[in-house]
Chains A and B, each alone.
Chain A
Amino acid sequence: SQTIHQWPATLVQPVGSPLSLECTVEGTSNPNLYWYRQAAGRGLQLLFYSVGIGQISSEVPQNLSASRPQDRQFILSSKKLLLSDSGFYLCAWSGGVAGNNEQFFGPGTRLTVL
Chain B
Amino acid sequence: LAKTTQPISMDSYEGQEVNITCSHNNIATNDYITWYQQFPSQGPRFIIQGYKTKVTNEVASLFIPADRKSSTLSLPRVSLSDTAVYYCLVGAYNQGGKLIFGQGTELSVKP
Contacts and interface: CB of A to CB of B under 8 A. Distances in A.
A43 B101 contact: yes
A34 B99 CA distance: 10
Contacts, number: 71
B107 to A, nearest CB: 13
B49 interface: yes
Nearest to A31: B97
Interface string A8-35: 0000000000000000000000001010
B54 interface: no
Interface of A is mostly: strand
Given A36-B101, A102-B34, A108 B42 contact: yes
Interface residues of A, number: 31
Interface stretch (B16-24, B67-75, B88-96): B88-96
Interface of B: 30, 32, 34, 40-46, 49, 51, 85, 87, 91-94, 96-104, 106
A94 B93 CA distance: 10
A99 B28 CA distance: 13
A55 B99 CA distance: 18
Contacts of A108: 41-43
